[in-house]
Structure 1
Amino acid sequence: MTKMFLEHLWEYVIEHPIAVLVAVAVLYLTHITLKPLNRIRRLGDVGLFFGKPELTGFYRERQLERLKLLRRTGDLPPVFPNGWYCVCESEKLEKNQIMEITILGQFLSLIRSESGTVYITDSYCPHIGANFNIGGRVVRDNCIQCPFHGWIFSAETGKCVEVPYDEGRIPEQAKVTTWPCIERNNNIYLWYHCDGVEPEWQIPEITEITEGLWKLGGRTEHELMCHIQEIPENGADIAHLNYLHKSAPEITNGSDIIKTDLSDPQPTVQHVWDGKWEVKSEEHKHCGVMHLNQFMTIWGHKVPLTSSKLVAEQHGPGIVHMLFDFGMWGKGVVFQTVTPEEPLLQRVRFRIFSNIPWFFVKFFMTVEAMQFERDVFIWSNKKYIKSPLLVRNDGPIQKHRRWFSQFYTENSPRMMKDGSLSNQAKSIFDW
């Protein structure tokens, strides 16, 4: 039966090749159109200049390493502020899985137990130093077993609970460091504080996500080379919105600001922005808020149904909840998370959960990513100026810097002139 079907199918393909090709093309286009956006840009893909003609291959890699060295410019603030940081998206970590994560200049192990709870530990066995991420296993619900000699450690307490070939007393120092973490809003977060302080605030839960009213509509992810403070400072830099982000991204040039005429006073398609930034309240002083209204124009005429209202709440140095209201299109939240993997290497993720139609979500996230990549060009090449020269309408940049300074203390790791750190980041449980 199967053989006859395949023979008939092959005959049809031979007799109607154009119809088959058109059908395959339609199916493929339908697939990529309906598939949620997953835009990923690695370091060097966007924001860095490799000369004209552009360097390729070995010379491009060598230039990238050179740029990393030369980016150590300016009187930089400490490189790892205190706060919560996203280390993984919930759906990417399965039960009984150990995943390597990079944060705060080191490798750690992210673990999901058999019952579903998440834990974070240091990656190296204190016995002889084997890496749990390479061949380690989750056992006994929430324990990790070293791949070298089989020692078993509790992912909750870090203590060794079994040395399989030795029935004697387990050494008191047989312990792996654990890190405080929490799973919220379909993300997994790690808490860091350079003085060993317990979490000073909690990440708000978005009930529409917890109750399943808003669904994941797409994500973007970027690696970029800059100091972490440069990224959230954009929220207070109101003046740059109506210059850098004034024109809609062109299809041909995309987000490349080198090829884009940003000085056009009246671009054909234009974003009009009106925003302000402020501290939420004295009670929630860890939270800064940007209010932003936006609409689009074509040849100076406002385009119907393009208006949006945004309330972006920044919780500490690495988390922003962008609450959008698109009017008749619906509502949603975009999570922007910034994770300092190295002193000047940030991983930025955007994830949208909403009740907005899929086609509008995909359009919005694509345009949002391209506008964000314009900022990446700036951040990847700018110098941090401790005392910037500001004018009246620049926005509350200095106010934002004073607010952000609460996430640093005397012990916060600083980058030295040779690229080393003044001290290494460690868990609050390691004090």
Structure 2
Amino acid sequence: MLFDQLWDFLISHPISIIITLLIIYLTHITLKPLNRVRRLGDVGLFFGKPELRGFYRERQLERLKLLRRIGDLPPVFPNGWYCVCESERLAKNQIMEITVLGQFLSLIRSESGNVYITDSYCPHIGANFNIGGRVSNTTLHLVFTPTPSLQVIRDNCIQCPFHGWIFSAETGKCVEIPYDDGRIPEQARVTTWPCIERNNSIYLWYHCDGLDPEWEIPEISEITQEIWNFGGRTEHELMCHIQEIPENGADIAHLNYLHKSAPPITKGSDIIETDLSNPQPVVQHVWDGKWEVKSEENKHCGVMHLNQYMTIWGYRVPLTDSKLIAEQHGPGIVHMIFDFGIWGKGVVFQTVTPEEPLLQRVRFRMFSNIPWFFVKFFMTVEAMQFERDVFIWSNKKYIKSPLLVKNDGPIQKHRRWFSQFYTENSPRMLKDGSLSNQAKSIHDW
């Protein structure tokens, strides 16, 4: 009876039903945090006119990787902390494959919530932990008569899918061979990597000389105390050297050319289709910034101060002012602290992770007390402006000694600052595309 009544209502009011469902859907996508993901080839590369599709597009992408001019590059993997995952994407008792520093690694969260990173291959016969491996949380009972049985909790372990060998994800040592009661060989261990969970993200430490972490990643109290809410994320794959990306912070001159105009709705971030030479675009961003080293005590940290507002037909738009303090901690982490005046405050985390010598994964994540509609607008526009840079980075050549003029900004100062993250043993890309040496964990020396 109820079903018949519902069916009659649907037949009698189809327009009302459609409009209601449409409103529900639009409300859902409007309130949902931004999740803008761009894979390699989605933005920043030119595939001809008319644009190549399918197989021909993939072939052109491979040609671009091989034929683009890359210049006299610095080492490809600087020393520092790198984001490998966002915290909420790794559940308890989960093993996740991650790509960083030119290799596959295993990211593990145990039953207790601890996070570990190990090499992906079992030293026994080489099986891959990421394909069928398990987080092991077995409980062993050791009985000593006449005393009561003692319980030993084995947590934070990873188990190979091939023969069931169990390794401590914390120390890397093999703790059990399930079918063998003999002595476990001393060399039965898997390499582990230092990692830390901070500000709702997981970071890996790398140093080519085997040195322990040389600085801490600052904790943002507004996030740990849940004062600021998650507002959205963007993620981009791009083809360039890692140093090209943070160098933009010191390249003040490009802001008032490449990023002067607001992204047109119809053309988005495509700089090929956008008129960048217009001296007075209808909607314009006005930038004023500077870059400097934070202090001698925190020499690993560079700081950009940036003020911005918007104009329409040359008139300054109220409530569009923003102040930014962007602290870069090492080669791969930037904390962008924004003050939007009456709209509120927040932080955008920009992380750059070198997955391969010339393949970077860049993530932006925003936390703030700003209204959701302003956050979504800001994150979308910020992503489109960033994608203009992607067009440049994906096709440019690295010039070791650039030809600079007075108002270019402190680009050479930034390069000298960035050089502290390289040492003699930092891996370099050779002419044939191979590496001079592979990146290794500091626990593998």
Aligned: 1:363 with 2:360: no
Question: How does the TM-score come out when normalised to structure 1?
Answer: 0.99
Q: Structure 1 vs Structure 2: percent identity of aligned residues?
A: 87
1:23 aligned residue: 20
1:6-58 deviation line (CA, Å, top 9, x unaligned): 32222111111111111111111000000000000000000000111111111
Letter in 2 for 1:108: L
* 1:352 counterpart = 2:366: yes
Quote the Cα distance in structure 2 between the aligned partners of 1:71 and 1:407.
26
Q: Secondary structure at the match of 2:81?
A: strand
Aligned to 1:55, what secondary structure does the other structure show? Answer: coil
TM-score, L = length of structure 2: 0.96
User: Over residues 158-183 of structure 1, what are the superposed CA-to-partner deviations in whole Å (9 max), with x where a residue is unaligned?
Assistant: 00000000000001100000000000
Q: Deviations over 1:371-427 (max 9, x none)?
A: 000000000000000000000000000000000000000000000111100000000
What CA distance in whole angstroms lies between the structure 1 residues aligned with 2:296 and 2:288? Answer: 25
Q: Select 2:33's aligned residue among 23, 32, 36.
A: 36
1:428 is paired with a residue of what secondary structure?
A: coil
Aligned to 1:399: 413
Aligned twin of 1:61? 58
Q: Distance in 2 between matches of 1:309 and 1:7?
A: 60
- Structure 1 counterpart of 2:180, which letter? D
**Structure 1 partner of 2:103:** 106
Q: Does 1:211 align with 2:211?
A: no
2:115 maps to 1:118 = yes
Counterpart of 2:142?
none
Aligned partners of 1:373, 1:187: CA distance in 2, in Å?
23
Give the secondary-structure state (helix, strand or coil) at the position aligned to 2:132.
coil
Q: Provide the C-alpha distance between the structure 2 equivalents of 1:71 and 1:411, rounded to a whole number of angstroms.
A: 26
- Corresponding residue for residue 137 of structure 1: 134
Q: C-alpha distance in 2, partners of 1:11/1:242?
A: 61
SS at match of 2:443: helix
Contact kept, 8 Å, 1:72 with 1:417, in 2: the verdict is no
Measure the CA separation in 2 of the matches of 1:311 and 1:8: 60
CA distance in 2, matches of 1:388, 1:142: 50
Aligned partner (choices 1, 5, 8) of residue 8 of structure 1: 5
Deviations 1:84-106 (A, max 9, x none): 00000000000110000000000
1:167 and 2:164 correspond: no
Count of residue pairs the alignment pairs up: 428
Give the C-alpha shift of residue 316 in structure 1: 0.1
RMSD value, Cα: 0.6
2:77 equivalent to 1:70: no
Tell me by how many angstroms 1:275 deviates.
0.2
1:302-322 CA-to-partner distances (Å, cap 9, x unmatched) read: 111000000000000000000
Paired residues for 1:244-255 under 5 Å: 244-255=258-269
1:58-103 Cα distance to aligned partner (Å, 9 max, x none): 1110111111112352000000000000000000000110000000
User: Structure 1: which 5+ runs fail to align?
Assistant: none
Alignment check: 8 A CA contact 2:69 2:396 kept: no
Question: Contact 2:334–2:351 (CA<8 Å) still a contact in 1?
Answer: yes
> Equivalents in 2 of 1:293, 1:6: separation in Å?
60
1:46 aligns with 2:14: no
1:23, 1:96 → 2: CA distance?
41
1:72–1:419 Cα contact (<8 Å) kept: no
Give the ranges of 4+ consecutive aligned residues of structure 1 lying more than 4 Å apart after TM superposition.
Answer: none
CA distance in 1, matches of 2:256, 2:340: 20
SS at match of 1:85: strand
CA distance, structure 2, for counterparts of residue 34 and residue 244 of structure 1: 31
Mapped to 1, the partners of 2:3 and 2:239 lie a distance apart of 53
In 2, Cα distance between the equivalents of 1:186 and 1:36? 16
Partners in 1 of 2:218 and 2:68 — Cα distance? Answer: 35
| CA distance in 2: counterparts of 1:413 and 1:12, whole angstroms | 69
Contact 1:97–1:138, Cα closer than 8 Å, also in 2? yes
Matched letter for residue 55 of structure 1: L
Counterpart-to-counterpart distance in 2, 1:111 and 1:395: 43
Task: Give the distance between the partners of 2:45 and 2:425, measured in 1 at CA.
Answer: 32
| Residue 224 (1) aligns with residue 227 (2) | no
Aligned counterparts of 1:261 and 1:363: Cα–Cα separation in 2: 22
Query: Secondary structure of the equivalent of 1:115?
Result: coil
The answer to whether the 8 Å contact 2:308/2:322 transfers is yes
Unaligned residue ranges in structure 2 (runs of 5+): 138-154
